[in-house]
Chains A and B, each alone.
Chain A
Amino acid sequence: MSSSPDWGPTATPDVLRARAEMLREIRGFFAERNVLEVETPLLAAHSVTEPHLVPFETLFRPAGGGTGLQRPLFLQTSPEFAMKRLLASGLGSIYQICKAFRNEERGRLHNPEFTLLEWYRVGFGLNKLIRETEDLLHSLLTPSRPTIRSVCFDYCSLFEQQVGADPVTADFSALARAAERLGYPEAAALCAEARPVWLDFLFSQCVQPRLADWDLVFVTGFPACLPSLARTHPDNPAIVERVEVFIDGIELGNGFHELADPAEQAHRFEQDIATRRALGLHEPEEDKRLLAALEAGLPDCSGIAIGLDRLLMGILTASRIEDVLAFPVERA
């Protein structure tokens, strides 16, 4: 933590100027491409069902209303559901720069309130979106890092190469042996028989640190057990059309060829809720308005969300998120 007094910002004035400049550049980038800036509610009736996201919950109390009129509202962990409803309404390609809130997350790279850039391109496949993301990131990073490079890797080959086991077909004992060989004997007890947890563990501990050898890395071809809201690959049901972007080995964001099938979306909600039930977590209601929007028809599109605090860290090669925030949660 910076040594400045507790009331003062942890980021220096130069960093805060660089943040403003980054936001200006991003707005210019999308204005040039005719992508519309939108705003959606940060407080909404539903949160995502994803098992590993914990929302902040609050209560809406209409003035003079009895307790019967009160209703819970959630600070959004990302604006994706509301933005998809706008897409289904026919607005075309859109972007948003907003705060996102994730409870329980604080560390060198996490603050429970952070800034997201999320955008959706109607008519774009995943590869076209990756190229646009690359263009945006290069234009933001080049002034401070003129030699910036990017590479694209396939999740399964990268995993196999670094871990020594196939993420889709290796059985749990093979994954446990690989983890032990890499110095993680505790993995078997932590991950048990949950493949998504195994993959998160081995990827974040053993693969991700290696990605720091490149500046920008795009990883595609995620196994189907880590689908999030991506479409299943049309030619290979074992993988989904998802991309994850890393800068200096740090996760910047996730993008998808967006799932548009309401039945499949309802199924993913159910799976998430089942996982939550198994873990003894709160079981949220699925967002019926998102399902109704998909019923009405989501245009074929790809979308991606980028964490702007971490991107600014990359621009300035800062090592801690508080170095780029005016006030991290301890000073909020």
Chain B
Amino acid sequence: MALISTSEFKGGLKVMLDGDPCTILENEFVKPGKGQAFNRVRLRNLKTGRVVERTFKSGDTLEGADVVDTDMQYLYSDGEQWHFMAPETFEQHGADANAVGEAVKWLKEQDMCTVTLFNGSPIAVSPPNFVELTITETDPGIRGDTSGGGGKPATLETGAVVRVPLFVQTGEVIKVDTRTGEYVSRVK
């Protein structure tokens, strides 16, 4: 990949840092009037999700990272890998537990996800912002129970546990915001 100079660093750019692909979040030009120019850069490591800060001399370069976000359909898990398919090319990719990460609790077969490919292999999976999942288990709601702010825990078909209102029952399908892990509504 091409070398990219600090002056071209901008939010969203994908670069290699210490062998890992990262996305640039922020690039601040720091220059004392009489002194050396630096760039203070915030980056997110796309493998670990960790945010790091690093200072460069202005004009230093990093290698670009071959990273692309692709919309793919989640097919199934064989216990070790989670399999996704690109709908246009039918190309399939297996992602390991590291790549799937927290997304695992929202993955429902046939849902479209964003799979981040690094050198052609999945390194991260983002679930859709909203998913519709069936409740497999929740206590029958008891009117007048105000503990926990009027909600109760419900286990969903994927294993995720979310707080739902008391009137929601086992077997119902609910809509959940995967970014916050919060119940949105019942689905008729």
Contacts and interface: CB of A to CB of B under 8 A. Distances in A.
Asked whether A and B interact, the reply is yes
A156 interface: no
A50 interface: yes
A186 B57 CA distance: 10
Interface in A228-279: 228, 251, 253-254
B56 A205 contact: no
Contacts of B32: 200, 203-204, 251
Interface of A: 50, 52, 104-110, 183-184, 186-187, 190, 196-197, 199-201, 203-205, 226, 228, 251, 253-254, 307
A106 B28 CA distance: 10
Given A205-B40, A205-B55, A107 B35 contact: no
B32 to A, nearest CB: 5
Interface in B120-161: none
Contacts of B56: 186, 190
Given A184-B55, A186-B54, A190-B57, A104 B37 contact: yes
Nearest to A108: B28
B76 interface: no
B30 interface: yes
B41 to A, nearest CB: 10
B22 to A, nearest CB: 14
B36 A52 contact: yes
A199 B34 CA distance: 12
Output the residue of B34, B53, B54 with the most chain A CB within 10 A: B34
A105 B28 contact: no
A50 B58 contact: no
B183 interface: no
Interface in B24-40: 28-38, 40
A199 B36 CA distance: 10
A278 B83 CA distance: 55
Output the residue of A110, A204, A253 with the most chain B CB within 10 A: A204
A218 to B, nearest CB: 15
A251 B29 CA distance: 13
A205 B37 contact: no
A226 B32 CA distance: 12
- Secondary structure at the A interface, as helix, strand, loop or mixed, is mixed
A201 B55 contact: yes
Contacts of A190: 38, 55-57
Given A107-B31, A186-B54, A187-B55, 5 more contacts: A108-B28, A110-B31, A190-B56, A200-B32, A253-B33
Nearest to B58: A104
Nearest to A48: B34
Contacts of B35: 52, 196-197, 199-200, 204, 226
A205 B32 CA distance: 10
Nearest to A307: B33
Contacts of A251: 32-33
Closest 8 CB pairs of A and B: A107-B29, A200-B35, A200-B36, A197-B36, A228-B34, A200-B32, A204-B30, A204-B32
Output the residue of A186, A200, A203, A253 with the most chain B CB within 10 A: A200
Nearest to B29: A107
A63 to B, nearest CB: 37
A108 B29 contact: yes
18 contacts: A52-B36, A104-B7, A104-B58, A106-B29, A108-B28, A183-B53, A184-B55, A186-B56, A190-B56, A197-B35, A200-B32, A201-B55, A204-B31, A204-B38, A228-B34, A251-B32, A254-B33, A254-B34
Contacts of B28: 107-108
B19 to A, nearest CB: 15
A129 to B, nearest CB: 17
Nearest to A110: B29
Output the residue of B29, B37, B38, B56 with the most chain A CB within 10 A: B37
A187 B53 CA distance: 12
A105 B28 CA distance: 12
Contact of B34 (A52, A186, A197, A307): A52
Nearest to A184: B55
A50 B37 CA distance: 13
A39 B28 CA distance: 34
A254 B56 CA distance: 24
Nearest to B57: A190
A108 B31 CA distance: 11
A245 to B, nearest CB: 11
A231 B40 CA distance: 32
Contacts of A106: 29
